Amino acid sequence: MRPCYPFFSNRAINSIDMFGLVLQFVGCDEFEQKLLREAWDRACTAIASDRFKSCMCKDVHTTCLRGKCQRQEVTFTCEHYESLDKCKPVPPSDQSPCAAAYENSRDVYICPKAWNNVDGHYCGPLECVLAHEVMHNCMTAGSGEKWPCKAQECAGTNCPRGGNCP
Ligand SMILES: [Zn+2]
């Protein structure tokens, strides 16, 4: 007898991805996955709060972030070298980023700096970084840092303004 899971029969990974039901990881070891899951849960707890909603002052963005949390709609890629691609230093500060994300996407890249204090550039707790990056995922192309920085700030009283935030 054929199993009754037509969507999951041939392309299980893509089917799950399509529905966004689980967090996905690329290049993250077990420990990094554990830390990312815990930080993501903390970010989502903050995002679910009334405090976050009123702090954001823009319901459409809160709604998008809450949807990402409900659907676990994020793919975390762990980059282990600052010299590579997404984690290269960015002008004008020439600081390498804590993390990076595409707009209108589910892809978030975690850079080495996100894990610790490198060169005195402190990214803040990981949940603050994740709230910032996933807000980028919710935005349209070229929308800049305003709302990601706002989401970062609203994600917790211990979230510093950092990175590209003015
Ligand atoms: Zn940003």
pLDDT digits (tens, 9 = 90+) for 20-50: 579 999 999 999 999 999 999 999 999 999 9
Q: Is residue 37 part of a domain?
A: yes
Q: Is residue 165 part of a domain?
A: no
Q: Is residue 144 part of a domain?
A: yes
CA distances from 16 to 22, 23, 134 (A): 7, 10, 19
Centre of ligand 1 from the C-alpha of residue 50, in Å: 23
Centre of ligand 1 from the C-alpha of residue 164, in Å: 6
Q: Is residue 68 part of a domain?
A: yes
Range of the domain at 94: 25-154
Determine phi and psi for 158, rounding to 5 degrees.
Answer: -95, 15
pTM of the model: 0.84
Centre of ligand 1 from the C-alpha of residue 102, in Å: 10
CA 15/CA 12 separation, integer angstroms: 5
At 99, the amino acid letter reads A
Q: Is residue 14 part of a domain?
A: no
User: 23, 74 in Cβ contact below 8 A?
Assistant: yes
How many structural domains does the chain have?
1
Centre of ligand 1 from the C-alpha of residue 59, in Å: 20
Q: Is residue 137 part of a domain?
A: yes
- Cis peptide bond N-terminal to 148, omega within 30: no
